[in-house]
Chains A and B, each alone.
Chain A
Amino acid sequence: MATMEIAGSVSRGARIRRALLPYLYLLPAFTVMAVITFYPLVYQIIVSFTDFQTKDLRFGLASPQLNWIGFKNYIDILTGGLPVQNFEFFRVLTYNFWWAITNVMLHVPAGVLIAVLLNVQGLWFKKIYRAIYILPVVVPPLVVATVWRNIFDEQYGAMNQFLTTVAMWFGATDPVRIRWLTEYTPPIPWLLPNGPLPLAYYAMMIANFWLGWPFMTVVATGALQSIPKDLYEAASIDGASDSQQFWHITVPLLRPAMIPAAVYGFTTSFNLFAFVYFMTGGGPARTTEILVTFAYDLVRNLRLYGAAAAFSVFIFFVSLTVFLITNRITRATETYTEA
């Protein structure tokens, strides 16, 4: 920066030293990243062209049993040629997008509505509600997933017990035994044409809804506070109803804050590894598998290291595409705010 330059004559040695200084500051970070980030990235690409398996672990790339198989891993992933049951790349990919989009589509409207509710003038106990509604944000998703997994337990879970109590009110006698996490038959077969959406998907949507909307409420509440009150006053003088005010003032003015939050929510849900892994492990029959959990299964349980590396390369390009799209959406809102 110009701010660093000192006026007057500077010797040549000092100038060179100054030119090298930023690189000196970058040296520690880039040395470390070269070894533990960039080299693994390159190594990943190399391994993706081999059939690296457990037998090659001892000698690595120098292993005599290692075969160079070109793009076979990539082709196998796309065409279902991997020695893995129930795996179909494009189904997992669509499910992954569907999972992230449906989550955001529930969390954002719910978060906004609850923020509006909390913002109603004269509502009693506002502060207590705010303190309670923030709780899901502070609990680790890992713990949330394990707790909900138990809640959805077929025999002893709280959800079935709750439904049993409700059913008893209506005269039912048998306890409810819904196999939330293991039932394979999709309740609404046509919902995702590309593959089944088992009951576990809905169970996870419920659990992730609990986890997701409070963050949106926090963001929306902040944005609501920055909307000038006189806008509403002017509107009500002009005879606008509550719902008209909501659609024509609140919604458009919340948009610049909610779109980045929605993008954040989308990326988080898209790669929600620990949550999915803890709740269903991708089951039943890989129907709730997302890209990251499948990649993990490839390396941890199936030990197909070559295929796992190739799959991670796919994940990188999917993430890059997602980033380019979401970045464009966020940018678009920025200009929208300025206009």
Chain B
Amino acid sequence: MTTKGEQKNFLVRFLTMNTSNEVGGRDLPLWRQLLLQILTLLITLEVMFPIMYIITLSFSSQTTRPSSLQLIPREISFVAYQQVLDRPTANPVTFLELLRNSFLLSVGVGLVALMIAVTAAYAFSRFKFKLRQVLMIMVFIPLLMPAVGLSTPLFLLMNSFRIVECSPGVLAFNPFTTCSTTGKLLFNLRDSLLGVGIAMISGALPFAIWNLKGYLDTIPRELEEAAAIDGASPNQVFFLIVLPLAVPQLAVTFFLGFIGHWQEFALPWLFLTKPQDYTLSMTLYNMTGQYANAIPWNRFSAFAVIVALPVAITYIALQKYITSGLTTGAVKG
């Protein structure tokens, strides 16, 4: 396996590779050059086909379904974008609410997981202690489970946390206190963004610990040793030296998490029933397949573009870190 540093730079090197110092670079015969250009153009067509298709559709003002293939926009109309921002689906929920829910989940889960993970990652990276191996395996085991694998118990456990109004003014907090009669359900943790967030943290936390530990292992220890010799306590070493050094990687872990959580679909789609809690990816699903007959394709396309943009922008901004992060998380599906 190649070293970490090499992998980290794959994407950057892929895009900026220096091609001028290649030997014999100019003597590619013209017929070969043309042949290779045809090949690369064909591949370009393959890559651009769905992208141009969806962009063309999204700029169309026609609400009827496409009757012929169009890959280059004939008109630039923002009607579809406007309609989608106005009222994405038949559900009584605005685009801003969907955006807020997606953001709350992806940013909240990312931040909380990171804050909890960083001290654990530090302990695994720097301390030698008796249960180290056992505890590290305990962190690793959930990583083996595909995210969907824990959805049943999380669903059932969250579902048992309910606030019920037994009679006016009398509340019962299931499962700690219960009503003698059936009351009015006020709140169900399972059917709330909070519950989905907690369930998502369950998957995000082991990943964050593992990812951060891998990075902390690569930070040289000289600084910490020097500080310790100067009389800094281990806590001071952590908060004043390691934490500031780890900020770039904390950011990368956060954004990698963000990319994943932004697309999270399985848990919200399983947990949430109220339209005002829906996220962007749930709405995207609602726009295709059996429920989608009423949604014009130009609106669906505009929505797909909007959902894809934050991820694409984050990726491009972070490209030099992405590959390493992906291979670190290779265990998780």
| Contact mask for chain B residues 1-44; partner A; CB cutoff 8 A; 1 contact, 0 none | 11000110111011111010011111110000100110110011
Shortest distance from the beta carbon of B73 to any chain A beta carbon, whole Å: 14
Are B333's CB and A268's CB within 8 A? Answer: yes
A223 to B1, CA, bound (A): 11
Shortest distance from the beta carbon of B176 to any chain A beta carbon, whole Å: 13
Q: Is A117 an interface residue (CB 8 A)?
A: yes
Selected A-B contacts with CB under 8 Å, 6 pairs = A21-B127, A23-B123, A26-B120, A36-B201, A150-B288, A337-B2
A129 to B42, CA, bound (A): 11
Q: Is A74 an interface residue (CB 8 A)?
A: no
> Given the known A-B contacts A222-B9, A229-B22, are A4 and B28 also in contact in the complex, defined by CB atoms under 8 Å?
no
Q: Is B152 an interface residue (CB 8 A)?
A: yes
* Closest partner residue, chain B, to A162 (CB atom): B69
Task: Pick the interface stretch among A40-48, A186-194, A197-205.
Answer: A40-48
Q: Which of B23, B37, B65, B323 contacts A219 (CB 8 A)?
A: B323
Q: Is A76 an interface residue (CB 8 A)?
A: no
Are B333's CB and A161's CB within 8 A? Answer: no
Ranked 10 nearest A-B pairs via Cβ: A271-B333, A29-B120, A222-B10, A22-B127, A25-B123, A122-B28, A40-B153, A156-B65, A161-B69, A138-B315
Are B153's CB and A26's CB within 8 A? Answer: no
Shortest distance from the beta carbon of A152 to any chain B beta carbon, whole Å: 11
Task: Pick the interface stretch among B80-88, B92-100, B156-164, B165-173.
Answer: B156-164
Task: Pick the interface stretch among A77-85, A86-94, A101-109, A293-301.
Answer: A293-301
Q: Which of A2, A18, A22, A296 contacts B270 (CB 8 A)?
A: A296
Q: Is B304 an interface residue (CB 8 A)?
A: yes
Shortest distance from the beta carbon of B184 to any chain A beta carbon, whole Å: 14
Q: Which of B234, B266, B333 contacts A18 (CB 8 A)?
A: B234
Shortest distance from the beta carbon of B101 to any chain A beta carbon, whole Å: 16
* Closest partner residue, chain B, to A21 (CB atom): B234
> Given the known A-B contacts A256-B2, A273-B146, A299-B270, are A281 and B123 also in contact in the complex, defined by CB atoms under 8 Å?
no
Determine the chain B residues whose CB is within 8 A of the CB of A123 once the complex forms.
28, 33, 36-37, 40
Are A150's CB and B300's CB within 8 A? Answer: yes
Shortest distance from the beta carbon of A316 to any chain B beta carbon, whole Å: 5
Additional A-B contacts beyond A133-B44, A316-B145 (18; CB < 8 A): A18-B234, A29-B119, A29-B139, A47-B152, A117-B39, A120-B36, A138-B315, A140-B259, A158-B66, A210-B47, A222-B2, A233-B23, A261-B327, A295-B152, A308-B152, A312-B151, A316-B144, A337-B1
| Contact mask for chain B residues 112-135; partner A; CB cutoff 8 A; 1 contact, 0 none | 000011011011101111011001
Are A147's CB and B304's CB within 8 A? Answer: yes
A320 to B326, CA, bound (A): 19
* Closest partner residue, chain A, to B34 (CB atom): A124
Are B119's CB and A330's CB within 8 A? Answer: no
A: residues with CB less than 8 A from B are 1-4, 6, 18-19, 21-23, 25-26, 28-30, 32-33, 36-41, 43-44, 47, 52, 57, 60, 114, 117-118, 120-127, 129-144, 146-151, 155-156, 158, 161-162, 165, 210, 214-215, 217-219, 221-223, 225-226, 229, 233, 256-257, 260-261, 263-264, 267-268, 270-274, 277-278, 281, 291-293, 295-296, 298-300, 305, 308-309, 312, 315-316, 319-320, 323, 330, 333-334, 337
Q: Is B53 an interface residue (CB 8 A)?
A: yes
Shortest distance from the beta carbon of B111 to any chain A beta carbon, whole Å: 14
Determine the chain B residues whose CB is within 8 A of the CB of A291 once the complex forms.
146
Q: Which of A25, A120, A156, A222 contacts B66 (CB 8 A)?
A: A156
B: residues with CB less than 8 A from A are 1-2, 6-7, 9-11, 13-17, 19, 22-28, 33, 36-37, 39-40, 43-44, 46-51, 53-54, 65-69, 116-117, 119-120, 122-124, 126-129, 131-132, 135, 138-139, 141-142, 144-157, 159-160, 175, 198-199, 201-202, 205-206, 209, 221, 224-225, 228-229, 234, 238, 259, 262-263, 265-266, 269-270, 281, 284-285, 287-289, 297, 300-301, 304, 307-308, 311-312, 315-316, 319, 322-323, 326-327, 330-333
Are B157's CB and A43's CB within 8 A? Answer: yes
A42 to B322, CA, bound (A): 34
Are A295's CB and B148's CB within 8 A? Answer: yes
A214 to B319, CA, bound (A): 14
A74 to B255, CA, bound (A): 39
A172 to B144, CA, bound (A): 52
Determine the chain B residues whose CB is within 8 A of the CB of A142 once the complex forms.
263, 265, 281, 284, 307
A-side binding surface: helix, strand, loop or mixed?
A: helix
> Given the known A-B contacts A30-B135, A233-B23, A274-B263, are A133 and B50 also in contact in the complex, defined by CB atoms under 8 Å?
no
Are A130's CB and B23's CB within 8 A? Answer: no
A162 to B66, CA, bound (A): 12
Shortest distance from the beta carbon of B114 to any chain A beta carbon, whole Å: 11
Shortest distance from the beta carbon of A203 to any chain B beta carbon, whole Å: 13
* Closest partner residue, chain A, to B331 (CB atom): A323
Are A132's CB and B44's CB within 8 A? Answer: yes
Determine the chain B residues whose CB is within 8 A of the CB of A278 once the complex forms.
265, 285, 288
Shortest distance from the beta carbon of B241 to any chain A beta carbon, whole Å: 12
Are A222's CB and B156's CB within 8 A? Answer: no
Shortest distance from the beta carbon of B293 to any chain A beta carbon, whole Å: 12
Are A148's CB and B333's CB within 8 A? Answer: no
A257 to B132, CA, bound (A): 30
A52 to B159, CA, bound (A): 13
A2 to B128, CA, bound (A): 8
Are B10's CB and A219's CB within 8 A? Answer: yes
Determine the chain B residues whose CB is within 8 A of the CB of A273 once the complex forms.
146-148, 265-266, 333
* Closest partner residue, chain A, to B52 (CB atom): A158
Are A144's CB and B119's CB within 8 A? Answer: no
Q: Which of A147, A218, A267, A296 contacts B50 (CB 8 A)?
A: A147
Are A3's CB and B146's CB within 8 A? Answer: no
Shortest distance from the beta carbon of B123 to any chain A beta carbon, whole Å: 4
Are B205's CB and A29's CB within 8 A? Answer: yes
Shortest distance from the beta carbon of B177 to any chain A beta carbon, whole Å: 14
